[in-house]
Amino acid sequence: MAPIDVGDTLPDGTLAYFDDQNELQQVSVHSLAAGKKVVLFGVPGAFTPTCSLKHVPGFIEKADELKSKGVDEILCLSVNDPFVMKAWAKTYPENKAVKFLADGSANYTHALGLELDLSEKGLGTRSRRFALLVDDLKVKAANVESGGEFTVSSADDIIKAL
């Protein structure tokens, strides 16, 4: 499948997260994004260096600026289980805006066409690093990284697209 691109409709799918009451929830992507402007960014793995030290912190630090430009939701997607995503989210106590969503079986990542096979490194199927700007389910910007790069999917890159 070709990777999702500008002009495409964001596919629906079910992801998992822990809510504020520490309850495991299943949520449809469309319920989070329909009628809203959202940033959906994907990372290859929780607790990995670039993801933990650059990608996620950038969206946390720029959350107020993104919100001031009309972004309703900032969603972080990773092919990890919800328990790992919950533990990872706790490492950012200052975070008030980024929701950590688990795509444990990579089903949604496959629907986006953004899977990355890291089996040779013992990591199985993961997500490519990306950031999508979506307005009422329509993709307005699709910043997808090549290989292990981090050059086009930062919070600053999404702010430029707004």
pLDDT confidence band for 31 (50 / 70 / 90): very high
List all residues 6 or more positions away from 100 whose beta carbon is below 8 Å from its beta carbon.
17, 76, 78, 85, 86, 88, 89
Q: Indicate whether 1 pLDDT > 80.
A: no
- How many H-runs (helices) and E-runs (strands) does the chain carry? 7, 9
Q: Indicate whether 97 pLDDT > 90.
A: yes
Whether the CB-CB separation of 43 and 145 falls below 8 Å is answered with no
CA distance 97 to 58: 12
**pLDDT in the model for residue 6:** 98
Active-site entry in 33, 51, 77, 134? 51
Is 51 labeled as catalytic in the residue annotation?
yes
CA distance 126 to 139: 21
pLDDT confidence band for 14 (50 / 70 / 90): very high
**pLDDT in the model for residue 4:** 97
* Exposure string for 104-123, b = 16+ CB within 10 A, e = fewer: bebebbbbbebbbeeeeeee
Q: Indicate whether 123 pLDDT > 80.
A: no
pLDDT confidence band for 34 (50 / 70 / 90): very high
Whether the CB-CB separation of 51 and 44 falls below 8 Å is answered with yes
pTM, 2 dp: 0.95
Percentage of residues of the chain with pLDDT beyond 90: 88
Domains and CATH numbers, the chain: 14-161 (3.40.30.10)
- Nearest CA-CA partner of 92 in 65, 66, 59, 57: 57
Strand order in the sheet with 73-78: 24-28, 14-18, 98-102, 73-78, 37-43, 130-135, 138-144
**pLDDT in the model for residue 101:** 98
pLDDT confidence band for 119 (50 / 70 / 90): confident
